[in-house]
Structure formats: structure tokens, C-alpha cells
Chains A and B, each alone.
Chain A
Amino acid sequence: MNWNAILPELLLSIGILVVFFLELFLSKKYYKFLVFVAGIVPLLSVLSLFLVQTPAQAFFGVLYTDTYSLIAKGLIYLITGLSLFASYDYFLKKGSEYGELAYLVLVSSLGLSLLVSSANLALLFLSLELASITMYILIGTFKGEYLSKEASYKYLVIGSIGTAMLAFGSAFYYGAVGSLTLKQYSQDNTLFLLGMFLILSALALKVSSVPFHFWTPDAYEGAPTPITAYISTAPKIALYFLLSKMAMLFSQMKAWVLLVIILSVLSMFYAGLIAYVQRSVKRLLAYSSVAHAGYFLLGVIVWDKFLNSAMLFYLSVYAFAVLGSFVVLTVLEKRENFTHHFMDYRGLGRYDTLLAVLLSLFLFAMIGIPPMALFIGKLGIFAGLVKLDLLPLALLFLLASLISTGYYLKVIVYMFMEGSERKWQKVEVSVGEAFVILVCAIAVVFLGLFPNVLYELILKGL
């Protein structure tokens, strides 16, 4: 038994237990402290990543850790820690301080971190469920808010279909291959095809790609905003790292390529067009996330070192931009009666200049404007697709990015170029929120100017 392989997860589990017991015995007024402790735990796990000797495996090869999964874990932990830091003030202001939330987020991250190093469909299923079920709960943790419960229930129902598909797909996979271990398989086998189809659909549901995206806008909108920040970033990282690994194993099959292309093109265009009719910024960002699912899926059509590294880089910096923008939304929502309707964003540039500028920075980054790091990711995917002779897809990607500019700009227009009749009171930015927004903004710009720091790491992992 090699404990070394699961060192970060062990640390995280211990942290979860500590927070769990603390939560039992501490009274409500220590909520801030509790969240703070919970936020420290994943950061400690990040440090422990440097101690792991790779490649390593545990539990008879069910769990396999290499540099690649370590990078994913590092990002997941970092995002988890940051989103916890950004959450406490919001819940205090909204009077919805559930101490359980602190460790539930960690449990979910534990699931995600096991997911990226699972080499076996059984573990994949378990870890994905661990993460998903906690996320259902997290979405519903908004005290007295009906929408939050509805969103949670909706995600639960739709998510269960994903669970069923994954379980069913794994069964077929077992039938075809004779083992649950993920490995290369290129025989022409209907059973296997069916299994792969179901597994891919389940994962597509979790990354909210069209046509499995229906839970996304509701869940994102209903969830308390710091939780939206979490569920729109950390799971994405884990799932795309997993999908990229699966692309390495299965992408010689025509069916895989075809399916991923369909999912990706549908997501890019459907979400891009639907986003235009949204009246709520939070919902708009949800659709932007669906559209981005389409972009990222382009990166797993086939396994190519260049394309994949570009996609993973894009994904990592995208996570920072999304986290940053949702934290800005969190801060804004602390105002009384603030909904995320466009009308509430009018004139934001005048009275909350800094927040508005930062939100525009993140939105411009998502459009893909240099020097923000997401541009490098886009460029990489472009070049990768062209290199693989997939020029039509590159053109579609281009068209979709162009369509997407309009709705991001809409938010910016409302913030800067329209006046507001309403007088909002000054909003306080808590230390945690300020810290997280700052980290995200710096990451987005710094990695845009010096992408080597992360890019070389990803290339080393692949």
C-alpha cells in the first residue's frame, strides 16, 4: 500500500474531520473562523502535492497519481480554498450561515481530486457521486430561499440521470473489456461503443454541454453566489482533465470524435445564442459556461499534445476568470434588493468603479482579448485545430467566439454607458473577497503575459 499516492487526499480528509468536529462544538459566532480554517485545509493539501513522488498508485492500481493529475489537484484545491475565503461575508450578510457548508465544499473537492486520479470506472463513479451529491446539497444551502431549493432539486433529478448513465455505461464497458480499468481499447465492438456513449453523455452532463445543459442556468442562478463560483470552476477542472485523459485512450474511435464534435458545436452555438435573451447577469454567465464547455470539448476531440495542453491551459485560467467574476457578483449581491437583473447593473461604473472595472476585466478575458490569459488558450486551440487539419472546426470556434462577444459586451455597456435612477448604498468588500478577486485578476493578467509558468507545467504533465 503506497500512502504516498493519496497523501493530499489524506490530508484533505483529516482536514474535513477537523472542520466537522469544530463545527459540532463551536457556536454560530465562530462561523467566520470555521470557514477560514476550512479554506486553509486545501491550501495545505496544495503544499503536500510537492511531497508526492510520481507516478504512484494505490489500492491495487485503482488510483493512479501522476504529474498530470497533480496539476489538476493543485488547481482544484487552490480554487476551493479561494472560493471558501470569498464566501463567509456573503452568508453572514444574508443570514444563512450553515457551518456544514465549510466541510461540504471540502468533501466535494475530495471527490473531484479522487476523480482525476481514478484509473478505474468504479472509483470514477464513486468519486463523481461524492462530488455531485455534496454539490446538490451545497446548491440548496440558502436559508429561506425557494429558488435555491428548486435549483438543488432540479440538479438532483437531472444529475441522477447522469449517475444512471454512468453506471450503465460502466456495466457495458465491463461487458466489452472484461475489466473496469480504464485502458486503451480500439476494437470495433457495439457493446463498447454503447458503454462509451453513455459514459461520455454522463460526463457531458456534468460539464453542462448541450443537450445535457438544462440544469445549468437554474442551478447557477438558484445557488448562493459563492457556491456558484465553486460549482462553475472546480468540477470543470476535474472533469476536463479526466476527459482529456479519456481522449488519450478512446479518441482513435470515430464515434468518440463524432460525438465530441457534435456536443461541442451544439454547446458553442446554442448557448451563445440563448445567452442573448437573458436578463440576468448570473444566468448569462451560466450560459457562457455552457458555451465554454463547447470550446473546451474542442480540445478533447482527439489526443494531441499541443491541442490538449492548450485546452488545459485555457481551462485553468478560465477557472480564475470565472471565479473572479462570480466573486464580484457575490460582493454586489450583498446589497439589499440586488438581483442580478441588467437594470441593477446600470451605472455601476459610476459608483463602484473598481468592481465594475474588475468585472469587465474578467468579461474581456472571457471574450478572449489579450493580454488576458484566456487569449493564449484560445490561440492555442486555434493553432492546434489548424495543425490537425480541422480548419472547419476552427472556423466554427471563431464564429462562436464572435457571437459570444455581444453578450459579454452587453454587461459592460450596462455598467459603464447607462445611468442609474436608483441610489445604491455603498457595499463593503470583505477581506476574503478582496483577496480572491485580486488573486484572480492578477492570475488572469500575469498568466497572459507569462503563460510559461503554467504552460510548461502542463506540458510536463501530459
Chain B
Amino acid sequence: MLSVAIFLPLLAGILVLLVRQEKFSKILSLITSGVVLLIVTYLFLGFDWNKAGFQYETKYPWIPTLGISYHVGVDGMAISLLLMTAIMFLASFIWSWKIEDRPNLYYALFLILETACLGVFSALDFFLFYLFWEGMLIPMYFIIGLWGHERKVYAANKFFVYTFFGSLFLLLGIASLIAYAYINTGQISFDYTFHRNFSYPLWLQLLAFLLFGIGFAVKIPMWPVHTWLPDAHVEAPTAGSVILAAVLLKMGTYGFVRYSLPLFPEASKYYVPLIFTLSIIAIIYTAMMAIAQTHIKRLIAYSSISHMGVVTLGTFASDINALNGAIYMMIAHGLSSAALFMSAGFIYDRIHSYHMDDLGGLARYLPKLAVVFMISGLAGIGFPGLAGFVAEFLVFLGTFKNFPLWAFIAGTGMILSAAYFLYMYKRVMFEEETISEYRLEKWKHLKDLELHHFIPFVIILACAFLLGLYPLPFVKIVEQTSRYVLGG
């Protein structure tokens, strides 16, 4: 089942490339992502959160000489992320319903991207994981480079080189683990569970943690290596931004929880000050950067970095609540940032500008957008009743127990997040007086959300409400991973 869900989009993508009919591509993509969502939902509902370890496992030997196998399976974190991924792709496909520029290639790339994303979250073999991890690079590169805005080539190249830089370190980290295990046991294996039961000496842990960490940090992105993200977001098309923010960024934090924490437990403790410092810088500094932006997509991009800082903070707080919160935050941030980027993309579709100077008073002309924009923003800044609140609450609760000072400093970042969002909302939706009469006259005829805009918003915001109002089952599912990772 799981494998079907992973590879179905790839098959559909190849089919789309072969047939090259616009209508066919669109309908097939919708059906495919719908079926994937159904399968993943089915798996999600059947998931047993009381059972430790991986479920729905499939394992076939693939390259026996190198100890590589096709091994997939999910735990609580993975199945939640899979569900979010499936929802996001369905939403993106609906959102892109009216794309005109090379639609077949566009849909094919997104379908291939979906396979890679689903694969990353379910691979239990280092090789397979890396395959999917890199597999997402090429489609995303072309999505930014071909359908982006003015400086798309620059952004696409920057995205590629940064991510590839990280991936190479990840690769070296993987190679060092494999080599160590090979020297000591004489057995060469890329299997996750094999390495999970293997305890590495401290020096290797410290080294491999850094190598893995660089790979993940670029993807998250953490503070000093974050500069590709604002550019990529600013230039990417809306659906690309949605996937980038909602799914791709989660791969890094997912990697930390899946690989760094359980494989290098001592190193994870050793590097806590480093990770915390970087996280705090990310939370505070990028939130301040966000306040200074006048480009709405850039602002949302910086807010993403800030929120991902909360995730890394919670991940390494060595507390089950904080880890639950961190994983919950991945989902919550995925939902809110996707909705925010869709709002920004919609504004661009109508007004053809992302700059706050060109925007203002939109609440009067696009009332439906004003509502969904507000809800998405509140979900992002952690307003009670929405998903972000539960996540942030759990992270700070857990972190406060072990590291009160850090938690306190990070908490101030949350105030900043309210500041930048409300500031943006004020500039974009109100402050009609800054806009010329001529423009306002033209805006009278703006069309509000259409059906293909409305459905994705409804899906995503419904999820945000669900996660915010009734978090218990989801926290339980996520906790299945946390217990396993923290060895509780």
C-alpha cells in the first residue's frame, strides 16, 4: 500500500510526459493526488499508536552487494507528514488549475516531486532516503527556474547549489556510518534499523552528527545557511512555494528526528548549546528580518525560518513534550505557511505585485481573501484554537522544563511573529489611504477567490482548525515516534 502511494505519482508523471495533453495532465494529476491522499488517509486511520516501531513495513533486497534494500515503513511522525504531503499536493494541483505556461511539464514535475517527498518520509534505508532526498532537487530546480518570477535563474541556482552542498555532507555522513559499521562488523548495510541498533563511539557520533546536521540544516534552513530560502520563495511560483514551505523544509527537521537523535544520542546532547544558539538566532533574528521586509513573500519566507527555529529548539530539548511539539509544529507550520503563500500568490495573481507599497485596502475589494488570510496568519503566529498554538505550547512547555532560560528567550520570538504578521496584514488589507484613487478605481473590478482557490484554502484551514481544537489523537500518533526516539 505504502509503496503504491509512493510510486503512483511517478508513474502518473511519466504518463503525463508521454501523453502531453493539457486536459489529461490536469485531470490525471488531480486523480492521482486524490488517490494518494485516500491511501495515506487509510494508512493513517489504521495506524496503531500504541505499538512501538515502524508499521506497514516492506523490505526487499535491492543491491545486495552494497547491503542496500528497498525498505519503507512509517511511524507516527512519518505518517503524519505523509498525510500533510498528500494534502498539500492535492491542494497545489487544484490551485494550479488555470496554469497556462507549459502545463504538461509543470504537472509532470510536481508529480515526480510528490514521489520524492513521500519517499523521503517513508524510506528506512539510507540509500533509498538519499535517493528520494536528491530526487526532489531536480523537479524543484526546474519549477523555480521555469515558472518563477524575474530573478528565477539566480534563485534556482542558489537553491540547487545550497541544497546540493548540504546533501553532499549528508552523503559523507552516511558513508562514514556505513564504513564504520563495515570495518567493525564486516557487514555492509544501509538499513536504518541495522544502524539504529548499532551504538557508535562518541568521536564518530560527533563527526557524523555534524555531517548529517549540515545536510539537514541547509534544508530546514537554520540560521547561517538560510539565505537561499527567501530568494527561492520570492521567485518560485505559488504552488512551488507551497510545496517548498510545507513539505521540503520539513525534510530537514524530519531528518533530525529520524536520524540525528536516535543514531547519535550522546552527540545530540553534546551539541545542544550549538543547536539552541542557532535556533534562538533563527527565531529572533529572522523574525526581526521579517518585520523589516516590504515584499510579502519574503516576509513569509523569513517567518518560516523563524518557525523552523522553534522546531529545532523543541527537537533537541530532550523532553517528550517538546519533541511532540516539534513534530506537531512541522505539521502546523506546513499548513499555515502553505495558506499564507497561497494568499500571497493570489494577491500577485490579481494585483501583480508583492510589494506592500503597491498594496493596501484590499479587505474592501477582496473580502473572502481577507478572511482566509487572517485565519492563515493566526494559525502561523500560534493563535489558540489553531494548530500552531498547540505546537508552540508543547515546545515551550517541554523546553522550559529543562532549559528555562532558552525557552524564555525563544518565547519573545513569538511576540515578534505576531508583530510582523499584523503589520503585514495592516499594510496589505487596510491603509486604503496610501493607494492612489486611480488604482482603487481599477481594483473595484477585482475578482475574489474562485472555486479553485477556495477549495485548497478550505482543506488546509479545516485541517488547521482540527489540529487546533482536537489535538489529542494527533499528539498520540506523534508521541509514538517521540517515545521511540527518546527511548521511553
Contact surface of A with B, Cβ cutoff 8 Å: 306, 364, 367, 369-371, 375-376, 378-380, 382-387, 391, 394-395, 398, 401-402, 405-406, 409, 413, 416-418, 450-452, 455-456, 459
User: In the complex, which of the residues A379, A387, A395, A401 contacts B183, with contact meaning CB atoms closer than 8 Å?
Assistant: A387
Q: Kindly report which residue of chain B lies nearest to residue A459, judged by CB atoms.
A: B65
CB pair B179–A386 under 8 Å, yes or no, is yes
- With A383-B179, A417-B153, A452-B64 known, 13 other A-B pairs at CB within 8 A are A306-B182, A369-B134, A379-B130, A379-B175, A383-B178, A385-B175, A386-B175, A409-B161, A413-B157, A416-B146, A450-B63, A452-B63, A455-B65
Smallest CB separation, A186 vs chain B (Å): 25
10 shortest interchain CB distances as A-B pairs? A387-B179, A382-B175, A383-B175, A386-B179, A370-B131, A398-B168, A386-B176, A417-B153, A370-B134, A417-B145
- Taking CB atoms, residues of chain B closer than 8 Å to A375 are 134
Give per-residue flags for B151-182: 1 if the beta carbon is below 8 A from chain A beta carbons, else 0: 01100110011001100110110111011101
Cα distance A401–B167 when bound, in Å?
11
Known: A395-B172, A401-B168, A452-B64. A409 touches B157 (CB 8 A): yes
Give bound CA distance, A402 to B215, whole Å: 13
In the complex the two chains form, is B172's CB within 8 Å of A402's CB? no
> With a CB–CB cut-off of 8 A, which chain B residues contact A450?
62-63
Q: Are A413 and B179 in contact (CB under 8 A)?
A: no
Q: Using known A-B contacts A409-B157, A417-B145, A417-B153, determine if residue A402 contacts B168 with beta carbons closer than 8 Å.
A: yes
The residues of B that contact A306 with a CB separation of less than 8 Å are: 182
Contact residues in B for A406 (Cβ distance below 8 Å): 157, 161
| Residues of chain B with a CB closer than 8 A to A456's CB | 65
B161 touches A405 (CB 8 A): yes
What residue in chain B is nearest A364 (Cβ atoms)? B138
Q: CA–CA, A451 to B62, complex, Å?
A: 9
List, in ascending order, chain A residues with CB within 8 A of B169's CB.
Answer: 398
Contact among A383, A385, A402, A452 with B164 in the assembled complex (CB-CB below 8 Å): A402
> B residues within 8 A CB of A369?
134, 137-138
Shortest Cβ distance from residue B352 to the other chain A in the assembled complex, whole angstroms: 21
Residue B471 is within 8 A (CB to CB) of chain A in the complex: no
Least distance between A365 CB and chain B CB atoms (Å): 11
Count B interface residues, CB 8 Å.
35
Tell whether, in the assembled complex, residue A417 and residue B130 are in contact, meaning their CB atoms are under 8 Å apart: no
- The answer to whether B99 has its CB under 8 Å from any CB of chain A is no
Known: A369-B137, A409-B157, A416-B142. A382 touches B65 (CB 8 A): no
The answer to whether B161 touches A394, judged by C-beta atoms less than 8 angstroms apart, is no
Q: Which residue of B lies closest to A448 (CB)?
A: B131
Partner of B175, one of A394, A405, A413, A451: A394
Measured between beta carbons, the chain B residues less than 8 angstroms from A367 are: 164
- Once the chains bind, are B157 and A452 in contact (CB under 8 Å)? no
Question: Are B142 and A402 in contact (CB-based, < 8 A)?
Answer: no
A-B interface pairs (CB < 8 A), number: 85
CA distance A416 to B165 in the complex (A): 23
Interface residue? B52 (CB, 8 A)? no
Greatest chain B CB density within 10 A among A386, A409, A418 is at A386
Residue contacts A-B, CB under 8 angstroms, 13 given: A370-B131, A371-B131, A382-B175, A383-B175, A386-B179, A387-B182, A387-B183, A395-B172, A398-B172, A405-B164, A406-B157, A451-B63, A451-B65
Residues of chain B contacted by A409 (CB below 8 angstroms): 157, 160-161
CA distance A379 to B168 in the complex (A): 10
| A371 / chain B contacts, CB cutoff of 8 Å | 131, 135
Contact (Cβ within 8 A) A416 B145:
yes
Expressed in whole angstroms, the Cα–Cα distance for A69 and B64 within the complex equals 24
B145: nearest residue on chain A (CB-CB)?
A417
User: A417 contacts which chain B residues (CB < 8 A)?
Assistant: 145-146, 152-153, 156
Judge if B415 is at the interface, Cβ distance under 8 Å: no
Provide the bound-state CA to CA distance between A417 and B130, in Å.
27
Known: A383-B175, A386-B176. Contact between A402 and B146, CB under 8 A? no
| B469 interfacial by beta-carbon distance below 8 Å | no
CB distance from A351 to the nearest CB of B (A): 13
**Complex CA distance for A194 and B176, rounded to whole angstroms:** 36
The CA of A178 and the CA of B175, in the complex, are separated in Å by: 43
Q: A387-B182, A413-B153, A459-B65 are in contact. Are A382 and B131 (CB under 8 A)?
A: no
Closest A residue to B207 by CB, please name it. Answer: A391
Choice from B66, B157, B172 contacting A386 with Cβ under 8 Å:
B172
Q: In the complex the two chains form, what is the Cα distance from A75 to B156 in whole Å?
A: 37
Q: Is the CB of B145 within 8 A of A451?
A: no
Whole-angstrom CA separation of A387 from B134 in the bound complex: 24
Q: How far is the CA of A408 from the CA of B178 in the complex (A)?
A: 29
A281 CB, nearest partner CB in chain B, Å: 17
B160 CB to closest chain A CB (Å) equals 6
Of A370, A380, A398, A418, the most chain B CB neighbours within 10 A belong to A370
Q: Could you tell me the distance between the alpha carbons of A125 and B286 in the complex, rounded to whole angstroms?
A: 64
Q: Which residues of A contact B153 (CB under 8 A)?
A: 413, 417-418
Say how far A258's CB is from chain B's closest CB, in angstroms. 23
Q: Which B residue sits closest to A357, measured CB to CB?
A: B17
CA distance A387 to B204 in the complex (A): 12
Residues of B within 8 A of A413 (CB): 145, 153, 156-157
CB–CB B178/A402 < 8 A? no
Nearest chain-B residue to A413 (Cβ)? B153
Interface code B114-155, partner A: CB below 8 Å = 1, 0 otherwise? 000000000000010011001101100010011000001100
A455–B161 CB distance below 8 A: no
Q: Which residues of A contact B160 (CB under 8 A)?
A: 405, 409
A398 to B127, CA, bound (A): 17
How many angstroms from the CA of A413 to the CA of B172 in the assembled complex?
28
Q: How far is the CA of A405 from the CA of B131 in the complex (A)?
A: 17
Alpha-carbon distance A395/B182, docked complex (angstroms): 20
Q: How far is the CB of B125 from chain A (nearest CB, A)?
A: 12
In the bound complex, CA of A386 to CA of B174 (Å)? 10
Which chain B residues border A455 with CB–CB below 8 Å? 63, 65-66
Interchain CA distance A371-B161 in the complex, whole Å:
18
B137 proximity list for chain A (CB < 8 A): 369
Known A371-B131, A383-B178: A451·B66 in contact at CB below 8 Å: yes
Across the interface, B171 reaches (CB within 8 A) one of A382, A384, A416, namely A382
Bound state CA distance, A217 and B149, in angstroms?
37
Chain A residues with CB under 8 Å of B127's CB are: 379
How far does the alpha carbon of A416 sit from the alpha carbon of B141 in the complex, in Å?
A: 11
- What residues of chain A lie closer than 8 Å to B183, measured between beta carbons? 387
> A235 to B164, alpha carbons, bound, how many Å?
31
